């Protein structure tokens, strides 16, 4: 019984010490960038397919840009805005 307990205790102590290391990794910036680009592209697709109105698309994209400005670091935000205005030509009329 004791050995089973120690076999169970070992992985729990190992994983609890590893998780904080992954919580502060540099990939969080990539996740945030990808998240905001995904919302941007999805909203643009819905707007160009006329599944949402122009006003709804503008309101949503204004919200996305405000969130990106808060979440992303300066260089990532610059890349985000460049992508929005240069690569998404069909969506420029919806962008703030």
Report yes or no on whether pTM surpasses 0.75.
Answer: no
Domain around 52: 25-91
* % of the chain beyond a pLDDT of 70: 72
Residue 9, in any domain of the structure = no
Count of domains in the chain?
A: 1
pLDDT on residue 27: 66
Residue 6, in any domain of the structure = no
pLDDT tens track for 29-62: 788 888 889 999 999 999 999 999 999 999 999 9
- For residues 80 and 6, what is the distance between their CA atoms, to the nearest angstrom? 49
Q: Is the model more confident about 71 or about 1?
A: 71
pLDDT on residue 93: 85
Closest CA to 40 of 7, 85, 71: 85
Residue 1, in any domain of the structure = no
């Amino acid at each position: 019984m004791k050995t089973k307990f120690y076999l169970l205790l070992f992985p729990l102590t190992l994983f609890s010490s590893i998780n904080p290391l992954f919580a502060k990794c540099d990939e969080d910036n990539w996740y945030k960038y990808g998240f905001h680009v995904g919302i941007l592209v999805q909203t643009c697709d819905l707007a160009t397919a006329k599944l949402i109105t122009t006003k709804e698309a503008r309101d949503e994209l204004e919200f996305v840009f405000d969130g990106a400005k808060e979440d992303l670091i300066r260089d990532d935000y610059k890349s985000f805005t460049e992508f929005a205005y240069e690569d998404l030509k069909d969506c420029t009329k919806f962008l703030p």
